[in-house]
Amino acid sequence: MIWCRSILPVVRQIKSRWISTGSRLTSGFSLSTDIPEIENFKGVNSYKDLHKFSITNPDEFWGTLGRSRIDWMKPFDKVSECDMHKGSFKWFLGGQLNVSVNCVDRHAAKTPDKVALIWEKDEPNETEKVTYKELLDLVCQVANCLRDNGVKKGDRVAIYMPVSPMAVAAMLGCARIGAIHSVVYAGFKPDSLAERIEDAGVETVLTTDQCVRGGEVIELKKNVDEAVAKSSTVKRVLVSKRTGAEVGKTPLDIDFDEAVAKASKWCEPEVMNSEDMLFMLYTSGSTGKPKGIVHSQAGYLLYTNLTQKFVFDYQEGDIFGCVADIGWITGHSYVVYGPLSNGATTVLFESKPRYPDPGRYWDMVERLKINQFYCAPTGIRSLLRSDNSFVQKYDLSSLRVLASVGEPIDHEAWEWYHTVVGGGKCDVVDSWWQTETGGIAIAPRPSGAGDKIVPAIAMRPFFGIQPAILGRDGKEDTSLGANGACCIKYPWPSIARTIYGDHERFLETYFNKYPGYYFSGDGVRLNQEGYYQLTGRMDDVMSISGIRQGSAEVEDVIDEHPDVSESAVVGIPHEIKGEEPFAYVITKQGVTGDIEQLKTDLQHKVRERIAGFAVPRQMFFADEDILPKTRSGKIMRRILRKIAVDEFEELGDTSTLAEPAVVEKLIQGRILMK
Ligand code: WT7
């Protein structure tokens, strides 16, 4: 276990030149009006009481909210049946529902003309609106088109599309017929797509001709063709138009737009059991193979519904602006399922924060009158280096809640977000969660109005979440100042159900290390005020621009090169991206070629095989094995991280190394590199 990782963000904060003052929660949010169900809970008078109630009486708490917030086709007869030791989670047993009905039909019936989606296209000043009635028609048409093409309940469907109404309809169309979507981020290359298609046994791929981000064209259809050529399972590719470019046709291709236009605007929703799979989403782990994290229907729906409402103080009529891509869990939970299940107007952001200039977000906030804005700290850090006039020239008075996710937010970014963007008037909400948690697990909200928000920390667990800090001895530490592994003690409705096709790995990764607890892979500290502060990953996973990337996956690509014998990739701090990969590469004996060329080749390979964000800019080459290993052969990445950032004095204990002499060689090599 690598403990020193957790120091990184803290160090970044100490270096900060800002002095934080904190802020009080500003929104007029009240327990009894926002959670009318509270009258069922005896002795609950405050958020604190309600949190306590939710973890001490989980079935009563979740059962009550599940009944009132979800439209059921058949009511559930048991709230939960969970076993942390077996990694077995069942919620709302016996219940039947359809998630697309909860996200669309029930709002289309009440407020058909209310805008459900606002698509902020890549081209500035181009937006398209879709009402709930129109969304219902589109979802039904997509669902019918999928059915007509042979897609059945339980089939896995890959969605490789840009953020757009068609992509949202594709997700909900799958949900309507009980197909399981696997959205693959449109920035991934053909090999990554092929790997995900193969692992899930995907027969149907939904894509677009091309996509555009920041004015740059990405050849999605071409990538799909390459991926499909490598996979054995794909039977059909439905292609929708984004740019209208001529992209060639294969025998598997079907014109998605044409098929949808012809399809009927009513599709009978499939009756789904609470625990049927809703979707899978791949995330990078500490071994080379990405994990297909599985979420199911009712528990995920309820949890994203509640967190979108309470963490962001969503009120009827608000415009909800989460700028995440649908290729990540944030896009699933807070662009699509959470907001739509609440009948909100949700923004689909297709562009980039600095396109065409660093005012893009704020121009959009002014034009669309966004009330809640949710982005990643990396975006904020990249913008705060530009002139504040890019923010201040816009009217941002609609904003009430500013939130961030993806990595620890540093004080400088928090303060800038709070004062420059929010004018000191908005709640700034750092939210911690993961693909595996399904929804926000720790955030300053919900809390009583007037409570203080401590800058730059996630602070409080959401209802039903009880964080536990586990020490090296494997015991829970509840003392103030405790620092250790961030675990969660009791199951909650949207906890991941399994890793697709590999329950053993699910247990191994999350449940075996601290029996009886869910282990997140992050470190956490309980500060002196009793609030939680996340401190970064404890495993070999990097967070690059808020995107999670396992070191092992990058190493696998590098190691495949015929000249490479071994490699180790570590994350090092980067001013804007949070972290960036740094690679140590050991070449095979006798390799004498051009190292600069090898570096370029390896970078190219990583870009092609994974994605641009995973490419190590800096690479250290050696022709003898000088990776610092323990006697059992485990690479001590802690040492590699320090050497990569020139902290040669602070290497810690090196006595357990099999060959302590390699450290000096690494240091000399690093000095020569510069
Ligand atoms: C990992 C999960 C959840 C949506 C985006 C990423 C890191 C996320 C925070 C935060 C500190 C954070 C953790 C976590 N992370 N939010 N507010 N403070 N770290 O989802 O790709 O599943 O990544 O992102 O390390 O484990 P993901």
Least confident of 22-26, 519-523, 580-584: 22-26
**What local confidence, expressed as pLDDT, does residue 659 receive?**
87
Residue nearest to atom 2 of ligand 1 (CA): 434
Q: Across residues 10-20, what is the average pLDDT?
A: 43
Residue whose CA is at the smallest distance from ligand 1 atom 24: 406
pLDDT at 593: 82
CA atoms within 13 A of residue 95's CA, in its CB half-sphere: 26
CA of 534 to the centre of ligand 1 (A): 9
329 CA → ligand 1 middle, Å: 10
In contact, 167 and 198? CB cutoff 8 Å: no
Ramachandran sector of residue 383 (left: φ over 0; alpha: ψ -120 to 50; beta: rest): alpha
Q: What percent of the chain has pLDDT over 70?
A: 96
Q: What is the rounded distance in angstroms from the CA atom of residue 375 to the CA atom of residue 403?
A: 6
C-alpha distances (whole Å) from 624 to each of 145, 478, 671 are 58, 46, 17
**Alpha helices, DSSP H only, in 57-207?**
58-69, 99-100, 106-110, 132-148, 165-177, 190-200
Q: What is residue 15's predicted lDDT score, i.e. its pLDDT?
A: 39
Nearest atom within ligand 1 for CA of residue 430: 17
pLDDT value of position 29? 67
From 183, 188, 294, 433, mutation site for ligand 1 pocket: most ligand atoms within 8 A of C-beta: 433
Dihedral-angle region of residue 478 (phi above 0 means left; psi in -120 to 50 means alpha; beta otherwise): alpha
Distance CA 665, CA 646 (A): 14
pLDDT at 538: 87
pLDDT at 492: 98
Distance of CA 335 to the CA centre of its chain: 11
Q: How far is the CA of 296 from the centre of ligand 1 (A)?
A: 21
Amino acid at 68: S
Q: Of the given ranges (27-31, 113-117, 456-460), which has the lowest mean pLDDT?
A: 27-31
Can you read off the two tokens belonging to residue 444? 């300053």
Find the residues whose C-beta lies inside 6 A of ligand 1. Answer: 283, 328-330, 405-408, 430-435, 458, 520-522, 534, 537, 543, 548
Write the CB contacts of 29 (distance below 8 Å, at least 6 apart in sequence): 310, 313, 445, 446, 449
User: Per-residue pLDDT averaged across 485-491, rounded?
Assistant: 98
Q: How far is the CA of 406 from the centre of ligand 1 (A)?
A: 4
**HSE-CB of 464 using CA atoms within 13 angstroms:** 23
- For residue 208, which amino acid is it? T
Compute the distance from residue 164 Cα to the ligand 1 centre, in Å. Answer: 24
The identity of residue 556, as a single letter, is D
The pLDDT of residue 3: 29
**Residue located nearest, by CA, to atom 23 of ligand 1:** 434
How far, in Å, from the CA of 537 to the mean position of ligand 1? 9
Give residue-wise pLDDT tens across range 427-444: 999 999 999 999 999 999
Atom of ligand 1 nearest to the CA of 458: 17
430 in Cβ contact with 409 (< 8 Å) = yes
Per-residue confidence at 650, pLDDT binned at 50, 70, 90? confident
Ligand 1 centre distance from Cα of residue 536 (Å): 9
Q: What is the DSSP letter of 420?
A: I
What pLDDT digit, counting tens, does each position of 70-106 carry?
999 999 999 999 999 999 999 999 999 999 999 999 9
Q: pLDDT for 612-633, tens place per residue?
A: 999 999 999 999 889 998 777 7
Burial class (CB in 10 A: 0-12, 13-18, 19+), 591: middle
Query: With bands split at pLDDT 50, 70 and 90, how would you rate the model's confidence at 206?
Result: very high
| pLDDT tens for each residue of 393-439 | 999 999 999 999 998 898 899 999 999 999 999 999 999 999 999 99
* pLDDT on residue 14: 36
DSSP state of 382: H
What value does the mean pLDDT take over residues 168-180? Answer: 98
Please choose from 417, 499, 525, 534 the residue to mutate so as to test ligand 1's pocket, defined by most ligand atoms within 8 A of CB.
534
> How are beta strands 277-283 and 180-183 bridged, if at all?
parallel
| Residue from 322, 407, 547 whose mutation best tests the ligand 1 pocket (most atoms within 8 A of CB) | 407
Q: How many CB atoms lie within 10 A of CB 377?
A: 26
Indicate which residue's Cα is closest to atom 1 of ligand 1. 434
Query: Tens digit of pLDDT for each residue in 240-297?
Result: 999 999 999 999 999 999 999 999 999 999 999 999 999 999 998 777 788 999 999 9
Distance 628 CA to ligand 1 centre (A): 29
Rounded to two decimals, the pTM is 0.91
Nearest ligand 1 atom to alpha carbon 435: 22
Distance 374 CA to ligand 1 centre (A): 14
- The string of DSSP letters for 168-209 reads HHHHHHHHHHTPEEEE--TTS-HHHHHHHHHHHT--EEEEES
User: Which residues lie below 8 Å from residue 141, measured CB to CB, with a gap of 6+?
Assistant: 169, 173, 260, 261, 263, 264, 265, 267
Predicted confidence (pLDDT) per residue in 536-570, tens digit: 888 889 999 989 899 988 998 999 899 998 899 99
Atom of ligand 1 nearest to the CA of 404: 17
In this structure, are residues 58 and 80 in contact, taking their beta carbons and an 8 Å threshold? yes
Residue 436 alpha carbon, nearest atom of ligand 1: 22
Other C-beta atoms closer than 10 Å to the C-beta of 189 total 18
Instruction: State the alpha helices, DSSP H only, in 313-446.
Output: 329-331, 338-341, 360-368, 377-383, 389-392, 411-416
Using 50, 70 and 90 to split pLDDT, how confident is the model at 13?
Answer: very low
pLDDT at residue 23 in the model: 77
Quick one: which atom of ligand 1 is closest to the CA of 333?
Answer: 4
Return the pLDDT at 20: 57
Give the lowest-confidence range in 132-141, 337-346, 584-593, 596-605. Answer: 584-593
Average pLDDT, the chain: 93
